[in-house]
Amino acid sequence: MNRVGISAVSALLLMTASFSALADWGLNVPKGVTSVSHQVHDLHMTIFYICVVIAVIVFGVMLYSIVYHRKSRGAKASNFHESTTVEIIWTLIPLLILVGMAVPATSTLIDMYDHSDAELDVQITGYQWKWRYTYVNEQVDFFSNLSTTQEQIENQQEKGENYLLEVDNPLVLPVGTKVRFLLTAEDVIHSWWVPDLAVKKDTIPGFINEAWTKIEEPGIYRGQCTELCGAGHGYMPVVVKAVPKEEFDSWITEQSKLQAAAREVRDMSFDELMAQGEAVYKTYCAACHKVDGSGMPPVFPALKDSAIALGDITKHIDIVVNGKKGTAMAAFGGQLSVSDIASVVTYERNAWGNSKGDFATPKQIKAFKDNNK
Amino acid sequence: MSEHAADHHHGPDKGFLRWVYTTNHKDIGTMYLLLALAALLVGGVMAFVIRAELFEPGLQLVDPNFFNQMTTMHGLIMVFGAIMPAFVGLANWLVPMMIGAPDMALPRINNWSFWLLPFAFGMLFSTLFMEGGAPNFGWTFYAPLSTDYAPPSVTFFIFSVHIMGISSIMGAVNVIVTIFNMRAPGMTFMKMPLFVWTWLITAFLLIAVMPVLAGVVTMMLMDIHFGTSFFNAAGGGDPVMFQHVFWFFGHPEVYIMILPAFGVVSHIISTFSRKPLFGYTSMVWATASIAILSFIVWAHHMFTVGLPLVGELFFMYSTMLIAVPTGVKVFNWVTTMFKGSMTFETPMLFAIAFVVLFTIGGLSGLMLAIAPADFQYHDTYFVVAHFHYVLVPGALFSILAAVYFWLPKWCGRMYDEALGKWHFWMSFVAVNITFFPMHFIGLAGMPRRIPDYALQFADFNAIVSVGAFLFGFSQLIFVYNLWKTVILRKGEAATQEVWEDAEGLEWTVPSPAPYHTFAEPPQVK
Amino acid sequence: MTTKKISPWKIAIIPVAMFGFGFAMVPLYDVFCDITGLNGKNFQIGLSESTGAVSAQTATLKFLSDPQSKDTWEFRPERTSLELKAGEMITTYYEISNFRDHPVVIQAVPSVAPGQWAQYLVKIECFCFNEQVIQPHSTLRMPLQVTLSAKAPEEVNHLSLSYRIYEKAETAANTDI
């Protein structure tokens, strides 16, 4: 035997043996928690093993030739160079294997496309760079933002266990209920994926896609956006929290009430504005304008010592509410509540050494929106 | 005519302008190959930036927007600047000699096809320095990210693609006309070397689909600057239509990048097995079937977009079907080796590695074809692993194999075999360290095109990054070997035959091949 | 030479034709979407024989609005769902509000899911057929008349209709509407 042969055989054996070990290390498609995800996992493993067998046979023959049919071993070259019979055989056998693979694949796909008889409808909208969940019949609607801090991303803080896979408001769903998802996007194409549910669907602006799931076990299931959507593509995770039906029912009723209350306008103190403003700033603004307000000029201007934060407050409110056309500054008027906008404007005018001293109130923001939408 | 040929002793012009004005297929082939090498190194540096950032979780080196520019430009430069021009360079050098023709059919268009490229790539590269940065929407540039949300440099990206497309189309027309019209007497189609066949079929794919790419970027241009709504729902358009038109080009494009590789590998394996290629006729039919089938599989890149069930099933079946002729080719190569009398010089090492590693890439492609499973693989590192396996130890290894194989004929000197073997083994090991773990991080859930990732992907990403740097630096061995052989002219003088039992008209001319060969067509039996 | 000659000009026809084909793909795509319902836009418009006919088929129709449109225009359906019966026409409304000092012109763009059943939704009258003008500081109540096609097969038991509001560029500048 020789170096080539030994190293090749060992490589193959190591690779094949490691697969089962790797599955335990969480390096394989998960079995998941729905009947569809189980079917997909089984299909995946079947196809995978078929591919391994094909590879072992083909590479085995090659290895044999490399060892025994070499000139240095004195092998003499044969002259055969065609055989129609053999060509037919190795065309038909793979074809039959493929037909065998296509049958379970087809039935799994048919299952995945059966959107009927859903008990709960959830509209999912992809934004740059967060998700929005709307429970259609219950009138509950909220954004789901990455909650990992900028400090962790910039390596100033130790990274948490669910680094980049945690959000402020997860999508809460009841277990054992068929949920229909209606997916769309606000700006560019995104894609909503949760591996444990085996649901992945692109969200296309101006169009509605459908998907469904029925989660069998309570738990927290994490996924990510899987379509390049700009700078924040890696920072918009999906978190689904599956809970027993009774817990879901009480949660959604509570949410309904809370949202109705938040829509009301109330007075806030300067300290409340600053505290809420800092939180809003970190979630929505810091990725571009940086935690310390220094930004990444010229694309993302600095807010510290800036004309906008130290100038006319109406202009400042305007740019937060309406965005700035032709730049990456989105219109946050539709995404943030009036109290959030008032607080973040207040914060930007009074943080990092900016000491404008003035502040915005929720009533002011509502009036601005009513007059200037 | 023969008197004139005997008097025709002048060689190439001297000086830089020789290269600007040349219409000689050998010169033009050399220029394409050098451009491809330069693009490989530039694209490689961008890969270094990507892998350096991805070495650890967190953002260390670049911001996400620049990272997206790197992934986009890496893809564009490797696909359009390295792989495609390298194969065109090989076609230029080899097709005329293999069919016994004095040059390409359209030599002046040939010159122009080449010189358009440095201009196009210069423009593309310069976008890195424009305000707003280079294109950052992926080499697949889906709308509306690439239309409504693109940086201003997108217009230059579009022009650059138009120019490259014109170059490819003219080059492909040239190849077709050359092969149809200028074969030596006695060389029927079924006597042509396989590399010529694979390039003929590739050329037809090119003229069929590059214009569609030109169409889709023109539609983008119109949406961005002239107020149309091809891809904008507000005006009645559809972003998904972009994907259909793009992938109608995109899928045949990947076969354009691999069919010539199949030709190269067929030549090399049969030469170093000292045995004729097994199943020549079958290989020709398999290549043609792959090319035809490649037109009806495009939506397997779009399984998650929301196609109706019937559409998903159709594209799943057609994609699975294309595995059959591809498998036939692999079996034919293995049977060529079987009961041969093999030696393992550098070209053979790369060719054998191609068969093994391309097959792995092909098998992961078969897994991706299974639409319900694809829902878990799509847009993850599993896909990145698949296409890098077919492109790097696939297409790139075949190009390296071709250069090692034919370089002695081109320049008259043997390359350094020891360096060649070092280059091979280091590349082989590094390419697997880089791309094999990507299968697993993809299956475990890591999406593509992200600058930062969750902690469970950290260990394998670190391994991948180390492999990538190792692979990149290994290519310097190759560059040094070329320099040593071609510029320093160290290395044994090559014989006419170069390799024992090498078959083909190119081995019947002296080494180095004279500036003009086959001024008189040879008679082929 | 016994080989046939081929002209580069003849070969060059192929790339030119394929460039045209690329553009021809646009209307071809529309036709294809019409037949297959790929993009959820091929709902039927207007009354025809199939809509006059009555069958026993029913389907739940859900009304949705794009969330951003809801925020910006307070665009919302009057009802979130109703039962459609084949051949029976039902009228419902969407409301939209304009908070500005000048009139706005909007276009509503509909989308139906699942796409392949969109052809069984018949819109007899819809505010999305035309651009709509909304006067300053007012709310418009826009009608929608739909029915289910009698051709709908048994499995068609749910449909979702969503609208997204796009503002027409000229409104901001033009205050003379």
Spell out which residues of chain A touch residue C62, defining contact as CB-CB under 8 Å: 121, 136
Q: Which amino acid is at A240?
A: V
Q: What is the 3-state secondary structure (H, E, C) of A90-143?
A: HHHHHHHHHHHHHHHHHHHHHHHCCCCCCCEEEEEEEECCEEEEEECCCCEEEE
Q: B148 to chain A: which residues are within 8 Å by CB?
A: 187-188
What is the predicted pLDDT for the residue at B195? 98
How distant is the Cα of A69 from the closest Cα of chain B, in angstroms? 5
The amino acid at residue B94 is L
B417 in C contact zone (CB under 8 Å): no
HEC states along chain A?
CCHHHHHHHHHHHHHHHHHHHHHHCCCCCCCCCCHHHHHHHHHHHHHHHHHHHHHHHHHHHHHHHHHHCEHHHCCCCCCCCCCHHHHHHHHHHHHHHHHHHHHHHHHHHHHHCCCCCCCEEEEEEEECCEEEEEECCCCEEEEECECCCHHHHCCCCCCCCCCCCCECCCEEEECCCEEEEEEEECCCCEEEEEHHHCEEEEECECCCEEEEEECCCCEEEEECECCCCCCCHHHCCEEEEEECHHHHHHHHHHHHHHHHHHCCCCCCCHHHHHHHHHHHHHHHHHHHHCCCCCCECCCECCCCCCHHHHCCHHHHHHHHHHCCCCCCCCCCCCCCCHHHHHHHHHHHHHCCCCCCCCCCCHHHHHHHHHHHC
**Interface mutation target, options C11, C45, C68, chain B, most CBs of B under 10 Å:** C11
Task: Map B268-337 to HEC letters.
Answer: HHHHHHCCCCCCHHHHHHHHHHHHHHHHHCHHHHCCCCCCCHHHHHHHHHHHHHCHHHHHHHHHHHHHHH
> C69, C111, C155, C167: which to substitute to probe chain A, counting the most A Cβ within 10 Å?
C111
DSSP symbol at C6: -
The pLDDT score that the predictor gives to residue C174 is: 45
* Cα of B209 to nearest chain C Cα, Å: 7
Give CA–CA dist A90/A94, Å, rounded: 7
Tokens of C65: 């609005």
Domain that holds residue B367: 18-508
Round to whole Å and give the CA distance between A56 and A12: 8
Q: Do C6 and B180 touch (CB under 8 A)?
A: yes
Please state, in angstroms and rounded to a whole number, the distance separating the CA atoms of residues B428 and B46: 21
Q: Of the candidates B105, B185, B208, which has its C-beta nearest C1's C-beta?
A: B185
The CA-atom distances, in angstroms, between B347 and each of B32, B268, B326, B355 are: 20, 7, 22, 13
Q: How many CB pairs under 8 A join A and C?
A: 68
H or E stretch at B224: helix B194-225
pLDDT tens for chain B, residues 1 to 525: 444 444 455 667 778 889 999 999 999 999 999 999 999 999 999 999 999 999 999 999 999 999 999 999 999 999 999 999 999 999 999 999 999 999 999 999 999 999 999 999 999 999 999 999 999 999 999 999 999 999 999 999 999 999 999 999 999 999 999 999 999 999 999 999 999 999 999 999 999 999 999 999 999 999 999 999 999 988 889 999 999 999 999 999 999 999 999 999 999 999 999 999 999 999 999 999 999 999 999 999 999 999 989 999 999 999 999 999 999 999 999 999 999 999 999 999 999 999 999 999 999 999 999 999 999 999 999 999 999 999 999 999 999 999 999 999 999 999 999 999 999 999 999 999 999 999 999 999 999 999 999 999 999 999 999 999 999 999 999 999 999 999 999 999 999 999 998 999 999 999 999 999 999 999 888
Quote the CA–CA distance of B445 and C101 in Å, as a whole number.
Answer: 50
CB B248 within 8 A of CB B212: yes
Chain C positions in Cβ-Cβ contact with residue A335 (cut-off 8 Å): 71
The per-residue b/e assignment along B26-56, b for 16 or more CB within 10 angstroms, e otherwise, is bbbbbbbbebbbbbbebbbebbbbbbbbbbb
Name the nearest CA neighbour of B461 among B381, B341, B375, B378. Answer: B381
Tokens read off for A257: 């009430």
| Residue B401 CB contacts under 8 Å (≥ 6 apart), including other chains | B264, B265, B268, B346, B347, B348, B350, B351, B354
Asked if the Cβ–Cβ distance from B233 to C16 is below 8 Å, we say no
Query: Which tokens is B258 given?
Result: 């691999």
Strand order in the sheet with C81-85: C81-85, C58-65, C158-167, C104-113, C132-134
A184 interface with C at CB cutoff 8 Å: yes
Q: Are residues C19 and B307, on separate chains, in Cβ contact within 8 Å?
A: no
Closest CA to C112 of C45, C12, C167, C170: C45
Fold of domain C40-173: Ctag/Cox11 (Pfam 04442) (2.60.370)
Closest residue in chain C to residue B220, using alpha carbons only? C23
In angstroms, the CA C60 to CA B222 distance is 40
Domain with CATH 1.10.287.90 in chain A: 3-112
Residues of B acting as catalytic residues:
74, 103, 139, 167-168, 251, 253, 255, 266, 300-301, 326, 329, 448
C109 at interface of A, judged by CB pairs closer than 8 A: yes
> Nearest-CA distance from A98 to chain C in Å?
27
CATH code for residues A270-372 = 1.10.760.10
Which residues, in sequence order, are CB contacts of A84 under 8 Å at separation 6+?
A: none
**Cβ contact (<8 Å) for C111 and A136?**
no
Q: Which token pair is B186?
A: 């006695």
In chain B, what residues touch A108 (CB-CB under 8 Å)? 372
On chain B, the residues whose CB falls within 8 A of the CB of C3 are 180-181, 183
pTM higher than 0.80: yes
Name the residue with higher pLDDT: C79 or C3.
C79
Phi, psi (deg, nearest 5) at residue B310: -60, -40
Angle (CA) A76 A78 A81, round 5°: 155
Q: Are A62 and B142 in contact (CB < 8 Å)?
A: no
Instruction: For residue C112, list its beta bridge partners.
Output: C161
Topology classification of domain A120-262 = Immunoglobulin-like (2.60.40)
CA distances from A240 to A108, A165, A194, B476 (A): 23, 11, 8, 48
Give domain status of residue B3, yes or no: no
- Which of 4-63 (C) contact B at CB < 8 A? 4-8, 11-12, 14-19, 21-23, 25-26, 29, 33, 36-39
Strand A140-144 versus strand A130-135 pairing type: antiparallel
| CATH 1.10.760.10 domain extents, chain A | 270-372
Interatomic CA distance for residues C67 and A322, integer angstroms: 16
pLDDT at C45 over 90: no
State the pairing for strand pair A140-144/A120-127.
Answer: unpaired
Structural domain count, chain B: 1
pLDDT in tens, chain A (373 residues): 456 556 666 666 666 555 544 554 567 999 999 999 999 999 999 999 999 999 999 999 999 999 999 999 898 988 888 899 999 999 999 999 999 999 999 999 999 998 888 899 999 999 999 999 999 888 899 999 999 999 999 999 999 999 999 999 999 999 999 999 999 999 999 999 999 999 999 999 999 999 999 999 999 999 999 999 999 999 999 999 999 999 999 999 999 888 776 666 666 778 888 888 999 999 999 988 999 999 988 888 999 999 999 889 999 999 999 998 888 898 898 888 888 899 999 999 999 988 877 888 888 888 888 776 5
Please state whether the peptide bond connecting residue B197 to the residue before it is cis, i.e. omega within 30 degrees of 0. no
Contacting residues of A for B58, CB less than 8 Å apart: 152-155, 159
pLDDT tens digits, one per residue of C60-116: 899 998 888 888 888 989 888 888 888 888 899 999 988 777 888 999 999 998 888
Which residues in C96-105 are b (16+ Cβ under 10 Å) and which e?
bebbbeebbb
Distance CA B258, CA B248 (A): 17
Confidence of residue C40 (pLDDT cuts 50, 70, 90): low
Lookup: tokens for A318: 């305007």
Give the domain CATH number at B345.
1.20.210.10
| ipTM score for this prediction | 0.93
CB contact under 8 A, B216 and C22: yes
Chain C nearest-CA distance from B208, in A, is 6
**Which candidate, B319, B415, B394, places its Cα nearest to that of B350?**
B394
Amino acid B72: pLDDT: 98
Round to whole Å and give the CA distance between B178 and B98: 11
Looking at the complex, report in whole angstroms how far the Cα of residue C120 sits from the nearest Cα belonging to chain B: 15
* Class of the CATH-defined domain A3-112: mainly alpha
Q: Write the residue in C39, C71, C160 that is nearest to A182 by C-beta.
A: C160
β-bridge mates for residue A143, sequence order = A132
In angstroms and rounded to an integer, the radius of gyration of the C-alpha atoms of chain C is 22
- Who's near B363: CB < 8 A, 6+ residues apart? A51, A54, A55
B306 touches chain C (CB under 8 A): yes
